[in-house]
């Protein structure tokens, strides 16, 4: 990546001195447009998702759909979203896996509606939408002997499914070139281009970066109210400074590695989801 993150050390921005890879941008859209300047063949967007009991502020996917997605008009050709449909054909295995996923992820019921809205918007933009195809054996593989979610097996399954679908889309020439953007939308683990050693097995990022000759860009969406206690992010040297800026109402674009971006939204005042 040729982009060099700027350190804006203005006096009112307390904490930015500890946020060396950060750039304060005028808005989330302005930050997203800087990411798009990299002309990604694959834009792998990962979110830190909302969980039950979280502060009632707009979710990452809601913000992406409303504020950022329109910037891809005319460039977006295909979308792969990390979700799948339930058809009832797998009986108890499907019900058990679904219940275990819901219990573990703790996602509110509104998440499904927001995923549908994203797919509706990308369809309206002329993109070809894709979701994951999960069969009965896949459902069974997600459950351990105690009937709980097998976290490792589930993470490996999703990583494998998204990677395979992305490669299939590229093979069909639906996206993944300098002229055609393939959007991947899902969790902020699978899309890592520089995954931590303990997470590397679960990330499709390195394989897709190799497939596109380095033209895969990672973008993680951070809602400050959701990530302020994240056990991995709090270890990052830029985290405290970036969060101080978000608390002050700033939008922060973080560029810790080539082709890796994190977009930290400003803290929401008032707590409304609208």
Asked if residue 78 is part of any domain, the answer here is yes
Range of the domain at 253: 25-85+112-131+174-264
pLDDT at 253: 98
| Confidence label for 14 from pLDDT (cuts 50, 70 and 90) | very low
Asked if residue 160 is part of any domain, the answer here is no
Asked if residue 45 is part of any domain, the answer here is yes
Handedness of CA 184, 187, 188, 189 (dihedral sign): negative
Asked if residue 19 is part of any domain, the answer here is no
Asked if residue 96 is part of any domain, the answer here is no
pLDDT exceeds 80 at position 99 = no
pLDDT exceeds 60 at position 213 = yes
3-state secondary structure of 43: strand
Asked if residue 205 is part of any domain, the answer here is yes
Q: CB burial class (10 A; 0-12, 13-18, 19+) of residue 75?
A: middle
pTM above 0.85, yes or no: yes
| Confidence label for 105 from pLDDT (cuts 50, 70 and 90) | low
C-alpha dihedral over 102, 103, 106, 112, to 10 degrees?
10
Asked if residue 117 is part of any domain, the answer here is yes
Asked if residue 242 is part of any domain, the answer here is yes
Q: CB burial class (10 A; 0-12, 13-18, 19+) of residue 80?
A: buried
Q: How many domains does the chain have?
A: 1
Average pLDDT over residues 137-148: 83
């Amino acid at each position: 990546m040729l982009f060099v993150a700027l350190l804006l050390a203005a006096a009112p921005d307390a904490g930015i001195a500890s946020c060396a890879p950060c750039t304060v941008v005028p808005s989330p859209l302005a930050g997203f447009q800087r990411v798009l300047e990299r002309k990604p063949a694959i834009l792998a967007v990962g979110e830190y998702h909302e969980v039950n009991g979280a502060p009632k502020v707009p979710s990452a996917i809601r913000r992406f759909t409303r504020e950022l997605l329109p910037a891809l008009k005319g460039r977006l050709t295909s979308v792969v979203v990390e979700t799948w449909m339930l058809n009832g054909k797998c009986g108890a295995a499907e019900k058990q896996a679904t219940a275990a996923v819901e219990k573990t992820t703790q996602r509110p019921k509104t998440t499904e509606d927001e995923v549908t809205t994203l797919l509706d918007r990308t369809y309206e933009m002329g993109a070809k939408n894709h979701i994951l195809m999960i069969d009965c054996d896949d459902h069974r593989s997600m459950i351990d002997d105690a009937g709980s979610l097998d976290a490792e097996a589930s993470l490996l399954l999703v990583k494998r499914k998204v990677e395979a679908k992305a490669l299939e889309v590229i093979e069909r020439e639906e996206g993944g070139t300098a002229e055609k953007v393939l959007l991947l939308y899902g969790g902020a683990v699978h899309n890592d281009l520089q995954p931590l050693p303990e997470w590397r097995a679960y990330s499709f990022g390195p394989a897709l970066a190799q497939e596109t000759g380095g033209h895969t860009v990672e973008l993680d969406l951070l809602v400050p109210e959701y990530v302020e206690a994240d056990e991995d992010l709090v270890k990052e040297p830029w985290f405290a400074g970036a969060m101080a800026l978000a608390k002050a109402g700033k939008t922060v674009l973080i560029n810790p590695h080539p082709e890796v971006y994190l977009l930290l939204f400003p803290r929401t005042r008032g707590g409304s989801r609208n």
